[in-house]
Structure 1
Amino acid sequence: MTDWAALVPLKQGVESKSRLREALEPAERMALASAMAARVMTCLSNVNAINSLYLLAPTEVSEWPSHWLPDSGRGLNPELESARAQLGNRPLLVIHADLPHLTVQDVQALLTAADDRGCAFAPDRHGRGTNAVALRDANPFRFAFGRDSLTPHRQQRPGAAIVERAALGFDIDTPADLAELHDMCAARLKS
């Protein structure tokens, strides 16, 4: 089906990737967040099942292939609740902007699982957080993003599919994640 809307929340400005303060200066964090988000947006724009793409952020990024939903600063989960209601509870993918290796195939696997089960979650690689939520149905759902979000998400939808793929699980939140990303990039350059 090609009726999915994809929503990418993005912190902007000096609060971008704030958990990386020990490793990066503010300008570096902002550049990293923007580069990863641009890659995620490009990936999503190439997924046939997605017919509309939205950026949830304080300011619009006009060069990205998306519609802008202003983030008014109430916090991620309330902003997502409001955005879902604004989009009319249609099939919705909420996916984080810090997935540097995301592929079209990863997104298609997640959406296919949600088509089959009504809902699918992509856990982080530690199995505690949630990097993406795909909601096929219009049933109520309370977003619980934050640390250890997978458990409250699964409690709401115990029958949801769990889609574990390396690129969906690898997000950049900590200095250790950043170091691993650098090592991966260096290894690619050597090969």
Structure 2
Amino acid sequence: MKINILIPVRALHDGKRRLSPALSATERRALTGWFFTRTVAVARSVLPASDIILVSAAPDLLAYGQEAGLHIVAEAHPGDLNTALRLGAAAARRKGADATLCLSCDLPFLERNDLEAMIATARPGAVTIAPDRSGIGTNAMLTAPIGAIPFLYGQNSFTAHSAAAKAAGLIQTTLRRRGFACDIDLPADLDSIGFMKNDRHIIAAE
């Protein structure tokens, strides 16, 4: 089964605004940049670069992706996550993929073995969902065939995706792993992972 990883990403300056009580604009940009490059690196450790589809409206991120050998999809205008993923899925279908693995771009503990574990569940007529640690959101989802269920990211997306899989008669697997579960949206999330502002691996010096 041929799988394409979809990585949708906003412009770095536009990301993680809900972290503004804890981080400056410069720090947030550095953090989202670190997330982005790390996510791409982990994805490339599992699949060929050409099987990773980057969807963005940001010219600098698209240029980075192109230089890294990714398949890039340029949004004409910044859109919502579901729109970006539909664009990525359409590109995967044109490339002859059988399945897509949608991957959030804010997972500090994501490792190669997390993606390998999800890919190992792939089979026709199945959906694998990796929820966030609250069990409410969706941080990664593998769907075969492509478009078997719609992208329903937003409030209570784990429940929405699970219901869509059931309605479509698909086999659903729920994959709970630390690498997928720990995302960063709010200042409290920084505390939960022991984040410190002087961590030079994450925040660049101003």
Which category describes the TM-score, using the shorter chain as reference length? Answer: 0.7 to 0.9
- Return 5+ residue gaps in structure 1 as ranges: 187-191
Task: Give the CA deviation at 1:87.
Answer: 2.2
Conserved 8 A contact 1:101-1:167:
yes
Aligned partners of 1:26, 1:185: CA distance in 2, in Å?
13
Give me the TM-score of the superposition, normalised by structure 2.
0.81
CA offsets 1:163-191 (integer angstroms, 9 cap, x no match): 000111011111011122335999xxxxx
1:31-50 alignment to 2 at 5 Å? Answer: 31-48=30-47
Task: Give the CA deviation at 1:116.
Answer: 7.3
**Which one of 184, 197, 203 corresponds to residue 172 of structure 1?**
184
| Identity over aligned pairs, percent | 28
The one-letter amino acid paired with 1:164 is R
Aligned partners of 1:157, 1:14: CA distance in 2, in Å?
35
Aligned partners of 1:52, 1:153: CA distance in 2, in Å?
24
Aligned partners of 1:25, 1:179: CA distance in 2, in Å?
16
Task: Give the CA deviation at 1:67.
Answer: 2.2
Which shows bigger deviation, 135-144 or 27-36? Answer: 135-144
The one-letter amino acid paired with 2:120 is T
In structure 2, the CA distance between the partners of 1:49 and 1:122, relative to structure 1 (3 Å rule), is farther
Task: Give the CA deviation at 1:16.
Answer: 0.8
Q: Which residue number in structure 1 is paired with residue 105 of structure 2?
A: 97
Aligned partners of 2:27, 2:13: CA distance in 1, in Å?
10
Q: Structure 1 residue 74 and structure 2 residue 82: aligned?
A: no
Give me the TM-score of the superposition, normalised by structure 1.
0.86
CA offsets 1:39-96 (integer angstroms, 9 cap, x no match): 1111110115886112111121425442221133231112211221232163111100
1:23-172 alignment to 2 at 5 Å? Answer: 23-48=22-47, 52-59=51-58, 60-62=62-64, 63-71=67-75, 72-88=77-93, 90-115=98-123, 118-158=126-166, 159-172=171-184
Task: Give the CA deviation at 1:7.
Answer: 0.9
CA offsets 1:2-47 (integer angstroms, 9 cap, x no match): x211111111143211111111111211110110111111111011
Which shows bigger deviation, 56-65 or 144-153? Answer: 56-65
The one-letter amino acid paired with 1:163 is L
The one-letter amino acid paired with 2:3 is W
Q: What value does the CA root-mean-square deviation take over the aligned residues?
A: 2.4
Conserved 8 A contact 2:56-2:78:
no
